């Protein structure tokens, strides 16, 4: 059992992957729904306005946007940067072009490994069954 101090209130709690105790996590989740409602009601509000009005740090709002829990409209003027190229995006961690590039890289790496694995099996076994002691 891993016991840690809550990052917000300092109380000890059983760590489950989140740096907040259950009470603070519940409070933060409640704040998330308030922020989401505020953004829905005020779609053109700036991120600093949302943070100020809702008493939530801008970093927390950005975290929710990166987790794709919050998204701003195109006409809101609010965006965050792609973690790879720095291009402005409305939600998530990467822009669509970087996502495509990464997907292509991963699939080509997977295909290369599959080909290496298949050719390695054919070359080593030569289609014959092997037994111990031969």
The answer to whether residue 112 sits within a structural domain is yes
The answer to whether residue 124 sits within a structural domain is no
The answer to whether residue 114 sits within a structural domain is yes
The answer to whether residue 128 sits within a structural domain is no
Q: Are the beta carbons of 6 and 24 closer than 8 angstroms?
A: yes
How confident is the model at residue 1, as a pLDDT?
74
| pLDDT tens-digit series, residues 37-61 | 999 998 888 889 999 999 999 999 9
**Residue 19 structure tokens:** 């740096």
Measured in Å, how far apart are the chain's first and last C-alpha atoms?
50
The answer to whether residue 104 sits within a structural domain is yes
- Length reported for the chain: 134
What element of type H or E holds 4? strand 3-5
| pLDDT tens-digit series, residues 14-23 | 998 889 999 9
Residues in the chain with pLDDT < 50?
Answer: none
Instruction: Give start and end residues of each alpha helix (H) in 20-128.
Output: 22-41, 47-54, 58-66, 96-125
Q: For residue 75, give its domain range.
A: 3-118
What 3-state DSSP class applies to 49? helix
Cβ within 8 Å of residue 30, ≥6 positions away: none
Its pTM stands at 0.70
The answer to whether residue 131 sits within a structural domain is no
The answer to whether residue 133 sits within a structural domain is no
The answer to whether residue 76 sits within a structural domain is yes
How many structural domains are present in the chain?
1
């Amino acid at each position: 059992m891993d016991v840690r101090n809550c990052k917000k209130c300092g109380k000890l709690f059983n760590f489950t992957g989140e740096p907040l105790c259950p009470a603070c996590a519940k409070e933060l989740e409640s704040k998330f729904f308030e922020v989401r409602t505020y953004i829905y009601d005020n779609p053109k509000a700036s991120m600093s306005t949302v943070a100020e009005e809702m008493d939530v740090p801008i970093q927390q709002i950005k975290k929710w946007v990166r987790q794709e829990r919050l998204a701003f409209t195109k006409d809101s003027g609010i965006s965050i940067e792609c973690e790879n190229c720095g291009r402005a995006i409305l939600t998530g961690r990467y822009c669509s072009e970087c996502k495509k590039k990464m997907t292509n890289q991963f699939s080509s790496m997977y295909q290369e490994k599959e080909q290496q694995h298949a050719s390695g099996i054919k070359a080593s076994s030569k289609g014959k069954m092997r037994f111990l002691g031969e």
